[in-house]
Chains A and B, each alone.
Chain A
Amino acid sequence: MTKNKTKNGQNLEKLLTLAPGSLEYITLRSELKKHLIDPGMFEKSNLANDELKNEARIIMDAFEAITNGMQNPDVFSFVEAISKDSILYFWKELIFAIKAFYEKNYEEMHSRLLSIDSESPLSIFRPILFYLSGKSAEVISNKKQKAFIENIIKDRSFIRSVIAQITESLEYDMEDLFLETSILMIHDLNRNYKEAARKFAIWTLETASTYKYSPTSIVSSCKKLFGNTEAYRITAIAMSKEEIDISLLFWLQSLLSGLKSMNFEIHEAGAYLTVISRIAGKVENSSDNFYLESLSGLIATIKFELITRFPGKLENNNQQIKQFSDNPFEELIYLSAVYSSLEENDIRLKAVKAKSLPVVEIVKTPFVSNVKSNKSVPVQLSLFD
């Protein structure tokens, strides 16, 4: 660690060798807090204790996250725990000021910036953020600061031109142009605007569905960008208005993909099955054999994955599930009641049970017998390949 890491050349090494809690330590910490530029120096230092190293890591992670627009609530809850006494306190305040700036919470930004000591090098951001938020009309004349401001508010003419191109492609019904430009846009947005990229992907899929364009290339791109679980969820959301039965297949595919991942918890499975159960309760029936085969195939695979991942639950209810196995929609409602802790799933299941012999009625329909004969063979739509 070198002296020049602080604005006025203070020697941080001295602080780190003093006994924490001593008067000299507290006095020096209070002074150095005002001059700290690089929190990373503590992480590299052999003299810094584990607590300080940990705080430095949290600050650096949060600073990187907030300046890149990454959503990471856990990081910010760790930063919030850093106390006012910490040598990194002004960094904490700057991070929350930047966060508030991007969230347009200018009151919060204002109070956070004011809590940074005027002697601290971090106070350089105060007039800049005041200017950017419109809280100050004071002209920034420093060249470096002007360039910084321009980069923050730089016009996104590229986005405007892409929007115009997409609008035009729809107007003239040019499917390829629409798909290519939209996919390009999803990729571009995902670099800096993760949330907007997902929202735009949903809009693209909905629009493709409205115009009867093939969604395959969009789904493939989403899989590359967001991973299979998220891509299927996005597609499921997009299909939920116009093609709810197809949406159900994508929710199941997303669940299946999640079940195969490492950190998938039973709470998440329960949440997925609740969404699926809600849709199953709405769809209730279908006469499309290909669809029903796909649905039953997915359910069979999911049941296998659920039993493997969370043993003990479904096997213990083996008799009950047979009661619903002739109707895939009812089977999904049953599965949600087994794996979810939410009351709404039990209510839906009770409603299914209360129906007058629904299973017998459904068994008589041609599609159910077809489903039964293929039950052990998972069938997937080509879109999922």
Chain B
Amino acid sequence: MEAENIIKLFNVSPNSEDNDIKENYKKMDSLLSTGSEKADLLEKYLLVSTKEKRYLYFLTSLQGFSDISELDSEIISRPNYIGPRQWLELLE
């Protein structure tokens, strides 16, 4: 898993407070049943448990496309973002 995705996994941003990510970690941990899942989650948590670690992961997690064809597969196969207005129009 990419480091930035670990930050997303815990639903925080780099400048979130350490307590918030700890709380989210505890909630997620309580939902897991197996030891290996818990160990995996703990490992991820420890990678982003402090603000400095989160900034470090944020700084280093971004990687470029290894080939231009990745741009094709990443963008063309993904749905478009069309903004809130078009979504709300369906409610009118």
Chain A residues close to B by CB (< 8 Å): 37, 63-64, 67-69, 71-74, 76-77, 80, 98, 101-102, 121-122, 124-125, 128, 132, 144-145, 148, 151-156, 159-160, 163, 166-167, 189, 192-193, 196, 198-203, 205-206, 233-234, 237-238, 263, 265, 267-268, 270-272, 274-275, 340-342
**Contact A166 B59, beta carbon cutoff 8 Å:** no
Instruction: List the interface of chain B (C-beta within 8 A of A).
Output: 7-8, 11-16, 20, 24, 50-53, 55-56, 58-60, 62-72, 74-76, 78-84, 86-87, 89-91
Look across to chain B and name the residue whose beta carbon is closest to the beta carbon of A73: B13
Chain B residues whose C-beta falls within 8 Å of the C-beta of A234 in the assembled complex: 62
Q: In the complex, A83→B37 CA distance in Å?
A: 28
A-B pairs with lowest CB-CB distance, top 6: A202-B64, A271-B55, A69-B81, A271-B56, A267-B51, A267-B52
Q: In the assembled complex, how far is the CB of residue B88 from the closest CB belonging to chain A, in whole angstroms?
A: 8
Residue of A nearest to B16 (CB): A74
B64 pairs with A200, CB closer than 8 A: yes
Closest to B78 in A: A102
Known: A199-B63, A202-B64, A267-B51. A159 touches B86 (CB 8 A): no
Q: Can you list 9 residue pairs at the A/B interface with Cβ under 8 Å? A: A63-B84, A64-B84, A77-B16, A144-B89, A159-B76, A198-B62, A202-B65, A265-B15, A265-B55
Q: Among B12, B51, B63, B87, which residue has its beta carbon within 8 angstroms of that of A73?
A: B12
A145 engages B56 (CB within 8 Å): no
Instruction: Report the minimal beta-carbon distance from B80 to chain A, rounded to whole angstroms.
Output: 5
B-side contacts of A98, CB under 8 Å: 87
> Could you tell me the distance in whole angstroms from the C-beta of B11 to the nearest C-beta in chain A?
5
Complex Cα–Cα for A312 and B70 (A)? 47
Q: Distance (Å) between the CB of A76 and the closest chain B CB?
A: 6
Nearest-CB distance from B67 to chain A (Å)?
A: 8
CA distance A75 to B57 in the complex (A): 20
Q: Which B residues touch A206, using CB under 8 A?
A: 64
Q: B80 near A237 (CB under 8 angstroms)?
A: no
